[in-house]
Amino acid sequence: MQFLTSLFVSLALFGATGTATNFTGDVVNGVPVISYLNLSDVPTRSVSRYYLRVGELSGGLPVHIPVFVARGTPESLESGKKLSLSAAIHGDELNGVRVVQRIFAQLEGQVESLNGTVIGIPTVNPMGIYLNQRNYFTSHNSGWLTNINRVFPGTAAVDGGSLPELLAYNIWNNVWANKSQVDVGIDLHTPSSGAETSLWCYADFRLPYVERLAKLLQPDTLKIDPGEPGSIETTFVSNSIPSITVEMGLAKVWNASLIDRVYDFVNRVLDDLDIVPSNSTQAYSPDLSKTYIATTFHDSVSTYGGFVEQLVTVDEPVTKGQPIANIRNAFGDILETIYSPETGKMFQSPQDPSIEPGASVGQIAYNSTDPECADGCIL
């Protein structure tokens, strides 16, 4: 009888909404550890914090990912929209961390009337943050680095997944529930260490609402782009979940003005999705007066190792054939001058003057006339 009762309880838990939230029983820094998140188990009208257990390092040290959930009114789990915010999948790209933190601090004051759900992962890649660099370090076979933003939706342990693949698998399946707990996704990045930009985004306009989402960002550059397989954005988009990748500023810094701009953007999205009460009856009309919309990027690279001398700054317009950088040797002699391949805009350039052969001296955004670039391309 006891068995039947517990079976009934289990079926009741798993029946309507899938797997119940699985608390491992561990508590880290006062925060409960889970191995699966079911939004219907999260307290309503509150912001909850969890650690998701994603695996163990060699030697058995457990790896936990912090997860915020803001749930609003009880019925709004079904009737409202579900927004995902994620940051620092690249461990040196930290501006987005502060955006997620600030949004959830704000949501604490809005959950009473919140019409929907917001899931936040402020640090997707704690190993990269610990190592102060982009990728995830796996230690066996002398060690290697994995770009986690190329392995989504990940690989299960039983299928041989390495820890970065398992991390992606656990986030995709055990937080986002194989997309069923997300309606719109925003993934926050900066350029890699050594590069500089202002505010731009990748957006795959082929999926409805992605264009609206990208324009709500009011970025300096909007890159129409078919996406990168294995990225959070493209994995969402290929599963029909509108998503963009936001690139903001510099790695390894918190840039207050860019954090403000992206915080304001997330608030416009919360309003647009009716998750927070709107101040207006009219849909927000984005100000795109300073936004350069481009289908195409061209990355100009150095032929030599040496030092790059920038002749054009980020966000400066360029014309085809204009010198954009000199490469100098250790004595200061100019080894080569790099020219803009097209008329457009310098949207991202090296901040670090030391340079290797094949490394970028500047990335130009422009609109290619090639019909194959209509949905976006990188040349």
| Chain contacts with Zn ion (rule: CB under 5 A) | 90, 93, 189
CB of 85 to Zn ion, least distance (A): 15
What gap in Å lies between CA 325 and CA 126, rounded to an integer?
Answer: 36
Please name the residue that has the structure tokens 């080894």: 335
Residue number, 90 or 345, with CB nearest to Zn ion: 90
CB of 93 to Zn ion, least distance (A): 5
CB of 87 to Zn ion, least distance (A): 10
What gap in Å lies between CA 287 and CA 263, rounded to an integer?
Answer: 16
Residue 159 CA: distances (Å) to CA of 34, 145, 169: 22, 20, 11
Q: In this chain, which residue has its C-beta nearest to Zn ion?
A: 189
Closest Cα partner for 298 from 250, 336, 347, 335? 347
Residue number, 165 or 233, with CB nearest to Zn ion: 233
CB of 136 to Zn ion, least distance (A): 12
Residue number, 120 or 306, with CB nearest to Zn ion: 120
Residue number, 125 or 218, with CB nearest to Zn ion: 125
CB of 190 to Zn ion, least distance (A): 7
Residue number, 93 or 220, with CB nearest to Zn ion: 93
CB of 306 to Zn ion, least distance (A): 26
Residue number, 81 or 90, with CB nearest to Zn ion: 90
Helices (H), 134-255: 163-174, 210-217, 232-238
Helices (H), the chain: 2-15, 76-79, 95-107, 126-130, 163-174, 210-217, 232-238, 256-272
List phi, psi (to 5°) of 13.
-70, -45
